[in-house]
Structure 1
Amino acid sequence: MTTLVLCVDRANDIGRKTGLQTPVSGWEAVQSLVVDVGLADPEDTSVNCLLEALRVARDLRDEREEAVVAVVSGASESIVGADRSVAAQLDELVAEYDPESVVVVVDSAEDERLVPVVESRLRVDAVDRIVVRQARDIESTYYLLKQFLADEELRQTVLVPMGIGLLLLPLLLFRFESPALAVAFLASLLGAVLLYKGLAIDERLANVPERVRDALYSGQVSVVTYVVAAGLTLVGVFLGGLEASALARGDAVVVPAIQFLYSSVPWLALAALTASTGRLVDELIQTDEVRSPYWNLPFGVVALGLVVRGFTGWYLEREGILPHAFVPGIGSELPPTYRLAAFIVAGLVVSIVGVAVASNVTDESLDVR
């Protein structure tokens, strides 16, 4: 069993610096080649790669295995020509020594790209990548950066936002008197861009025009209801903002936020109810049966709106912003807790009714089948 210990030099640094032609094989020939390369350029990592190949061959021989050490290089100006040159030299070595396996020794990521070429001709038992100890961190960082810059998607995701941020930084520093405010604004902008890419919002937005076109051509009712729901959402946000801004400025931040929710929840719930109803109608038109989630959604939206309205109203009533509920038959005001309980019970009743309706509709569809 013969093992070929192969030192690969894709860039042909050994051939250019020594003037020798590869392949070079045999212990004495490779040992002499180490001296020639070291004298030509003592700082070349190819010297360490050749010495590593000799060491591996020596260790294999110490283990009573037959080993042949050899060197191949890409003697061509083009990448394809260099790879084909290495393949031809490897064929010569296979024809001369008839090895059963090979141990590949490389000193860079570029040389390691030739491993598939070697694998197409021999069984690769190991790949030994030699890195000079003094330059280990530098070289590793270099190849990581090289691979990073070669990835187009990573460049667009990271480098483009960073470049835009660096371009905007002088303008922000000139616009704002405080550097901290400019840096905060820039950090928020970069964070928004990273979230935009990280959550794949761009991919979802790219499909929106096609989905809208298909919905318009297919005559879906949900297209109209979605537009109505968007308008109702804007109305709710606008009215909630007006009510929150009408509070005294001395109030805490929590109070205007609760007031915003209390005033906007009915409109937001109505918007969600409109959108879900349109989706339900589309399902009824397109198919003979509707899945239970589409029946549950309108009732769930109403129930959630009632619960949120109840809790926000309870808080505002305790703060004295909202007047107490007055029952005409009793002739007295109800405590805030009673009002909250009434909204919670109403929400639970609506939710239970929705579950019952969805269950009955599903059972009827099963019976029809």
Structure 2
Amino acid sequence: MTTLVLCVDRANDIGRKSGLSTPVVGWEAVRSLVTDVGLADPEDSSVNCLLEALRVTRELRDEREDAEVAVISGTSETAVGADRAVAVQLDELVATYDVESAVVVIDSAEDERLVPVVESRLRVDAVDRVVVRQAHDIESTYYLLKQFLADEELRSTVLVPVGVGLLLLPLLLVQFTPAVALAGLAALLGAVLLYKGLAIDEFLSNAPEQVRDALYSGQVSVVTYAVAAGLAIVGLFLGALAIRNPENTSEELLVPSLLFVYHTVPWLALAALTASAGRLLDELIGNEVVSTSYMNLPFGVIAIGLVLRGFAGFLLERQGELAHLVLFGRLELSPVQRLVLFILAGIVISLVGVRISATVSDETLEDVTDARAENET
């Protein structure tokens, strides 16, 4: 057998409704499974997914290819457990049958997350996504809404933010103008969408465990991150103190922003440098090998900080907000010379970082090669 037509069911709807354990392999076994699932729930899209797997298998056999159909599903309540159950079933199929490639048949975005699991064990030639056609009338819309309201995850993701927005809209209209109320409501809904879309909720839920693991493992980055946060707060505070309230002229609105950037950038660069140094020490202590990206990061932070401070200083000096830069107590630089000096310093530091990273990478590669040679000897 060379091609395996694989129907993937991450939520285990097929196994739960048919009462059978997966994997189910073979044309007749899958045909019987279609009947069992269809009788249990005729509205389930898994029936169409199984039929599509049978259809693809028949087409491959008509083209004189050696193909077999199989069904695997996640037999666990948790997402990680379901993925691992699918991986175990797939390993069983690969060990039992002489499989060279696979055609994956899925019917939902959730099942599509298992495609990388299949790709890690077999060459995937195609992914067949089954989309069930529905009649676009009032009755179909009613059933779609009913299924939508029955999904707890969709309710919490969509209905809760919309409900909160509708409750806040009258309060905003009473206190503010309609334009301000609508702008605030749009900002709230946009923040909620970004919160879910960027998976910030998952990050916040995993953050305490990650911090606890970092503290127990004695990582240096925990302390440096705290120091970096303090330095960033100091920089923002000093930048805010440096802002002077100009008169209400549109020409001077840019000056406070430049002053804020000029006084904040060194502290923010120092904070980023501290955080990257802690991460670099963790890599060096834990792996005894530092990747090129971690070596480049401190130099890149310093270079960007110099360039930003140079441009901000150039503009402020042209506006008379800063005095001319004097080097060694004698050499006074013009605004253009000041800008060129900062830009050149940033370029030189970035080049030094690239050179050091390349040298460290070469030495690490030589050490690994020598170690392998000694092991082979």
> Would you say same fold, with TM above 0.5?
yes
Give distance in 2, aligned partners of 1:150 and 1:216: 41
How many residues matched?
253
What residue in structure 2 maps to residue 304 of structure 1? 304
What residue in structure 2 maps to residue 342 of structure 1? 341
Q: CA RMSD in A?
A: 3.1
Q: Secondary structure at the match of 1:207?
A: helix
Give distance in 2, aligned partners of 1:229 and 1:279: 12
What residue in structure 1 maps to residue 185 of structure 2? 186
2:235 counterpart letter in structure 1: G
**Which string of whole-angstrom CA distances, capped at 9 and with x for unpartnered residues, describes residues 53-89 of structure 1?**
xxxxxxxxxxxxxxxxxxxxxxxxxxxxxx99xxxxx
* Equivalent residues of 2:284, 2:290 under 8 A apart: yes
Give distance in 2, aligned partners of 1:367 and 1:130: 62
How big is the shift at 1:143?
3.1
Q: Secondary structure at the match of 1:167?
A: helix
How big is the shift at 1:352?
0.8
TM-score, normalised with respect to structure 1? 0.62
Give distance in 1, aligned partners of 2:300 and 2:44: 58
How big is the shift at 1:115?
8.9
How big is the shift at 1:366?
2.4
How big is the shift at 1:145?
2.0
What residue in structure 1 maps to residue 118 of structure 2? none
1:285 matched to 2:311? The reply is no
How big is the shift at 1:314?
1.1
Gaps of 5+ in 1: 1-82, 85-99, 105-109
Residue 148 to residue 239, structure 1, CA distance change in 2 (3 Å) = same
What residue in structure 1 maps to residue 274 of structure 2? 274
What residue in structure 1 maps to residue 227 of structure 2? 228
Give distance in 2, aligned partners of 1:366 and 1:198: 40
Give distance in 1, aligned partners of 2:257 and 2:295: 32
TM-score, normalised with respect to structure 2? 0.60
How big is the shift at 1:258?
1.9
2:229 counterpart letter in structure 1: A
Identity %: 60
2:142 counterpart letter in structure 1: Y
What residue in structure 2 maps to residue 211 of structure 1? 210
Give distance in 1, aligned partners of 2:307 and 2:321: 19
Residue 153 to residue 284, structure 1, CA distance change in 2 (3 Å) = same
Residue 356 to residue 165, structure 1, CA distance change in 2 (3 Å) = same
How big is the shift at 1:286?
1.0
2:206 counterpart letter in structure 1: N
2:340 counterpart letter in structure 1: A
Give distance in 2, aligned partners of 1:253 and 1:270: 27
1:242 counterpart letter in structure 2: L
Give distance in 2, aligned partners of 1:129 and 1:356: 59
What residue in structure 2 maps to residue 366 of structure 1? 365
Residue 230 to residue 249, structure 1, CA distance change in 2 (3 Å) = farther
1:217 counterpart letter in structure 2: Y
Query: What are the equivalent positions in structure 2 for 1:251-266 lying under 5 Å apart?
Result: 251-266=251-266
1:192 counterpart letter in structure 2: A
Gaps of 5+ in 2: 1-16, 19-30, 36-40, 59-131, 369-377
Give distance in 1, aligned partners of 2:298 and 2:268: 13
Give distance in 2, aligned partners of 1:328 and 1:302: 22
Give distance in 1, aligned partners of 2:218 and 2:312: 39
What residue in structure 2 maps to residue 324 of structure 1? 324
Residue 295 to residue 165, structure 1, CA distance change in 2 (3 Å) = same
Query: What are the equivalent positions in structure 2 for 1:92-241 lying under 5 Å apart?
Result: 112-113=43-44, 116=47, 136-174=136-174, 176-241=175-240
1:210 counterpart letter in structure 2: E
Query: What are the equivalent positions in structure 2 for 1:74-93 lying under 5 Å apart?
Result: none
How big is the shift at 1:325?
2.1
1:341 counterpart letter in structure 2: V
How big is the shift at 1:365?
2.0
What residue in structure 2 maps to residue 97 of structure 1? none
Residue 138 to residue 266, structure 1, CA distance change in 2 (3 Å) = same
